Amino acid sequence: MTNDGHILLPIDLHQIGRDKLENVMRIARSLERGVLGLMLEDLQLQQVADLPFTTEITLSGARERSLLRDHLSQRCHRINAGTRQLLLELAGSNEVELSFEEASGHRLHCALERNGGQDIFFPPRHQRQHPRQARHRTRFAIERLGLVLPSREQGQRVMTIAASLLRAGLVGQVHAVAGGDVSITELAALPLQGHRLVVRTDLELTSDNILLLIRRSPYDLMLIPRGCLEPVAPGELDAALALASGQVMVVGAG
């Protein structure tokens, strides 16, 4: 196990598919890392559930009971229990160290308020449609790996993680969005082993363009340095992640 610690995986009411959880474990195994499942109770949903129109009066004691809150609590418990069991199974088969913590709040806020050096894996809310892949099954867990590289310094850990995923045979193609002082020579030095490398240098990595990349990501997994998200408003970042159909891994400072 390296000093980078665990990959943080926030888990809330939105169920995560088995394939995405399996990808987390494969990534963790290739990086010699553990996974920390952050089991979340969303306070905003609980507040909505406590509104007057979601309650009933019980016959015994004439006390109010929140129907929606009870439903949300049951759903949260069911999803958390199922996800926990599946993660335990996948962690065992991939020989990855797994631990759990519980927290209350929204997944983005709970994840970002933790140690800034920790990497955070955000599974997509939506399933991307791949008509070509439906006809031609890929043998790679990550067919298209996207790298956001605003500068050489901020992209250093992104490059290190990408190299590990390539060596593990998880990646089919590498697509880099490079800015600043990032050189194509450095990118070409990745252990590509014949895999395709596409480099884009025409996109200025402003807050708006980063949000656009997240929302409309054409990548199966996008690695993005946490530092370049700091200027982005949390509400806008949360909305972009909610619309993302690809996996996003926020890479901490280490």
pLDDT digits (tens, 9 = 90+) for 225-246: 999 998 999 899 999 999 998 9
Task: Give mean pLDDT, residues 92-102.
Answer: 95
Which parts of the chain are beta strand (E)? 6-11, 34-41, 55-57, 64-66, 98-104, 120-122, 142-149, 171-178, 196-200, 221-225, 247-251
Is 208 within 8 Å of 135 (Cβ atoms)? no
pLDDT digits (tens, 9 = 90+) for 26-78: 999 999 999 999 988 766 555 554 555 455 444 444 444 454 566 666 777 78
Beta bridge pairs of residue 9: 37
Q: How far apart are CA 97 and CA 102, in angstroms?
A: 17
The CATH number of the structural domain formed by 124-254 is: 3.40.50
Task: Give mean pLDDT, residues 152-181.
Answer: 95
Assess whether pLDDT exceeds 90 at residue 209. yes
Domain ranges of the chain: 1-122, 124-254
Tell me the CA distances in angstroms from 81 to 49, 120, 123, one per residue in order: 21, 21, 18
Assess whether pLDDT exceeds 60 at residue 138. yes
Instruction: Tell me what pLDDT residue 253 has.
Output: 83
Of 219, 143, 215, 142, residue with least CA distance to 177:
219
Residue 154, SS3? coil
The CATH number of the structural domain formed by 1-122 is: 3.40.50.12370
What's the chain's average pLDDT? 84
Asked whether the domain spanning 124-254 has the same topology as the one spanning 1-122, the reply is yes
Assess whether pLDDT exceeds 60 at residue 194. yes
